[in-house]
Chain A
Amino acid sequence: MKNTLKGLLLASTFVGAAGMAAAQDVTLTIESWRNDDLTIWQDSIIPAFEATHPGIKVTFAPTAPAEYNAALNSKLEAGSAGDLITCRPFDASLSLYEKGHLAPVQDLEGMANFGSVAKAGWSTDDGSVTYCVPMASVIHGFIYNADALAELGIEVPETEDAFFAALDKIKEDGSYIPMAMGTNDQWEAATMGYNNIGPNYWKGEDGRLGLIAGTQKLTDDAWVAPYRTLARWKDYLGDGFEAQTYPDSQNLFTLGRAAIYPAGSWEIAGFNAQADFKMGAFYPPVKSAGDDCYISDHTDIAIGMNPKTPNPDAAMAFLNWVGSAEFASLYANALPGFFSLSNHSVTMEDPLAQEFVSWREACNSTIRSTYQILSRGTPNLENETWNASANVIRGSETPEAAGQRLQEGLASWYAPQQ
C-alpha cells in the first residue's frame, strides 16, 4: 500500500511533466487526506470526470490523514502544492484562505446547488466568500444490532424514556452489552455522545448560533442537560469502559457482543464489511413523543483551488463538476455514509445509508456545536468538550461543573461570551 502510494506520488510528477510535453492535455493534481479512498477516486470518480471533460487529466495524490495539514501547509508555502486542495471544515481552511492559499469559488455555477449550512464550513465568518466546494457530510445517530433487538423484543426507541427502557431491558437480559462506547480515546464521548444527542436539547442551529452570538451560554440548561443524559450512559457501557478504545468499541459491536452503537455514518462501510447480522439505525431520541428532532449532519469534506495553479480554468471546471448531480451520486454511492451536501436528490443503494439520510427529511439538521468559530482560541472548545464529555461519563465531573468549566474557558478568549 505504502509503496503504491509512493509510486503514485512519484508517478504524478512524471505525469505532470508528460502533460506539459503533450501541450494539449492539462493535468490537475488533487491534494487530499483520504488515502482510504484512493481506489474509489481512480476507478470511478476520475474516469467519470475525464469522460465528460476531454483534455483534462486528474491525479489524486493523498497524504496520510495525520500529516495532511502540516504537509499541505509546507507545500503551499513552498509553492509545490497541487492544483486542487481538499478542505478540512472551518478554521484550518479559513486560515489557508486568509493566507491566500485558496481561491474564492462562490461565483461558480455549481455552487448554486448548495444551501447555506453546507457552505458554512468553508465560508468567511460573514458568509460573503466561499472558498471550497462542499463534498460530503457525516450524520450522527445510533446503529443497532437488529437481530439482538428483535430477539429481546425491543422496539426501536423514539423517545429518551424508551431509549433508557430499552437499555435497561438489554442489561437485564445480560446476553449483550447494552451500548458499545469507551472513554479512553475521549473523542467518541464528545462526537458520538455529546454532539450526537445534544442538538435535541439546544434545538440545533438555534442553540449553536445562539452560542456563537453570545445569547446562550454553556451553563444554560440546554447545554448542560445533554451532559446529564450522558452521565446516565455509564451504567450501560461494558465493563472497564474507561480503558475501552474506539477500535475496541467497533469490534465489540461488529462481533455481535453489544446491541447499540452510538455512531457516525462514516462507520457504515466498515460495519457492512465486518458485521454478519442485520443492522438498523435510529436518530437521537427526543425528550417526549412528537417533539421536533434534530440531527448532527456535520460538514466534513470539501475541495478548493490553489490560486497559484497554472490551469485555473481546468481546476474551476473540476470544482464545478463537484457541484453536479453526477458527482453527488457517484461519491455518495462509492462511500456510503459520506452524504452529498448538495440539493440534488441522490439515490443511494445502501439501506443503512438510506436510513441515515432519510432523517434529513424528518429532522432539522445542524453541525457540531464546537466547530465553527468557537474552537479558534485557547482553550479550544472542541478539545475541552472531549475531555468534559469523557469526564462526565466516567462520573469524575458533574454535568454542571463541566458546563461551568467550558463556559469559563470559552469566555476567557471569545468576546461575545464575556
Chain B
Amino acid sequence: MSAGRRGKKPVRWHIAVFLAPAVLVYTAVMILPLFSTLQLSLYTAVDNVQTFVGLANFETLFGDPRWSESFWNALGNNFWFFFIHMLVQNPIGVLLAALLSSPSLRLKAFYRTAIFIPTILSFVIVGFAWKLILSPIWGVAPGILDAVGLKSLYQPWLGKEAYALTTLSLVSVWQFVGIPMMLIYAALLTIPDEIIEAAECDGITGMSQFWKIKLPLILPSIGIVSILTFVGNFNAFDLIYTSQGALAGPDYSTDILGTFLYRTFFGFQLQLGDPNMGAAIASAMFLIILAGVSIYLFGIQTRLRRYQF
C-alpha cells in the first residue's frame, strides 16, 4: 500500500507556480509580439482592412527589384558592419583582456572602468559626440590631423559613401569593445594557476603560453562573444539613426536592416508607414538571426573542446 503510494509521483505544482510569473511576463512581452509580427507579415491592408495574403509580402520583398535591392543592400551593409566588429572589436577585446590579466599591470581597475564606460553611454550621446568630433566644421579631427601635418588625410568621413559605414562600425567598436574585454577577462581569471604553473614547468611562457594554453581555454568565451556580436549587429539601429537619420545616407550606404525596417514600418517624412511590409522585413531579420545562432549552436559550439579542471 505504502509502496504503491511512493511509486506514484505527486504532481509538483510548485514548479508551475514558481515558473508562472516569468513565463507569463515573457509570453506577454516577447513570445506573443514575436508571433503577431510573423502573423502581421502575412497580411496586407486593403481599403484599411487587414487581408490575408500568404507570402505575398515576402514575394514583394525578394521579388520586386526595388525592394530586393534595398534589402540586399541593407543585408550586405549589415554583414560589413559585423565583419568590422569581428575583425577589430573582438581581437582588440582579447588583447585588452590579456593585458589586463597580466599580473604586472598597475591601475587595472582604472583601465577596466575607462574602457568599459562607453558601453554604458547612450547611443545618442555616442552618435552625437562622434559626429561632432569628425565634423569638418567644428570637429577636432581636422585640427588634430593638421597639427601632425596630415591634414590631407582628413575626409568628411560620415558624408562619403566609401567611408561612412566603416567609420560608424569603428565608432560602434569603440563603444562596445568593453564587452568582449570583460567577458574574456573573466574567462582568463578562471584559468587555474596550477595549469599556468605546469605550463611554466614545461617551459611554455610569454606569447606561446597565451597561444597554447590560455587561448584554447577561452575559446568558448570568444564563441559567446562572437554570437553576442552577431545578434547585436543584426539588431543594430540606434547608432545609424542618431548619426545619419532614417534615410541612412549618404545614398543608403549606411542602411542596415534595422534602419530599413524602421523606414518601412513607421514611414518617414511623406512615406506613410507600411506595418505589413515592415513585419515582413522584421521576420526576415528574425530568420537571419535564428539561422546564424543555429549555425553557431549546432555547428560550432558542439565542436568546441571543453576542459574540466
Contacts and interface: CB of A to CB of B under 8 A. Distances in A.
Interface of A: 70, 90-92, 95, 99, 182-187, 238-245, 248, 252, 370-371, 375, 378-380, 382-383, 386-387, 390-391, 394, 396-397, 409, 412
Contact of B158 (A184, A252, A380, A394): A184
Contacts of A239: 136, 156
Contacts of A245: 131
A243 B271 contact: no
A394 B137 CA distance: 17
Contacts of A242: 156, 158-160, 250
Contacts of B161: 396
Contacts of A244: 135-137, 156, 159
A367 B72 CA distance: 35
Contact of B249 (A70, A99, A184, A240): A184
B284 to A, nearest CB: 17
A375 B269 CA distance: 10
A243 B270 contact: no
B136 A243 contact: yes
B292 interface: no
A238 B250 contact: no
Contacts of A382: 269-271
B33 interface: no
3 smallest A-B Cβ distances: which pairs? A240-B136, A242-B159, A243-B159
A182 B135 CA distance: 12
Given A99-B48, A240-B135, 14 more contacts: A92-B272, A95-B272, A184-B158, A185-B249, A186-B245, A240-B136, A240-B142, A240-B155, A240-B156, A240-B159, A241-B136, A244-B159, A383-B268, A409-B66
Given A238-B137, A244-B136, A382-B269, A390 B249 contact: yes
Contacts of A183: 159, 249-250
B168 to A, nearest CB: 12
A390 B66 contact: no
A70 B272 contact: no
Interface string B126-142: 00000100111110001
B135 A243 contact: yes
A238 B159 contact: no
17 contacts: A92-B272, A184-B159, A240-B136, A240-B155, A242-B159, A242-B250, A243-B134, A248-B135, A370-B270, A380-B270, A383-B247, A383-B268, A383-B270, A383-B271, A390-B250, A390-B251, A397-B251
Contacts of A371: 270
B271 A387 contact: no
Q: Which of A184, A371, A409 has the most CB of B within 10 A?
A: A184
A386 B247 contact: yes
A371 B247 CA distance: 18
B250 A394 contact: yes
A243 B158 contact: yes
Residue of A252, A375, A378, A412 contacting most chain B CB atoms (<10 Å): A378
A74 to B, nearest CB: 13
B201 to A, nearest CB: 57
A243 B135 CA distance: 7
Contacts of B245: 185-186
A70 B154 CA distance: 41
Given A240-B159, A242-B160, A252-B137, A375 B271 contact: yes
A239 to B, nearest CB: 6
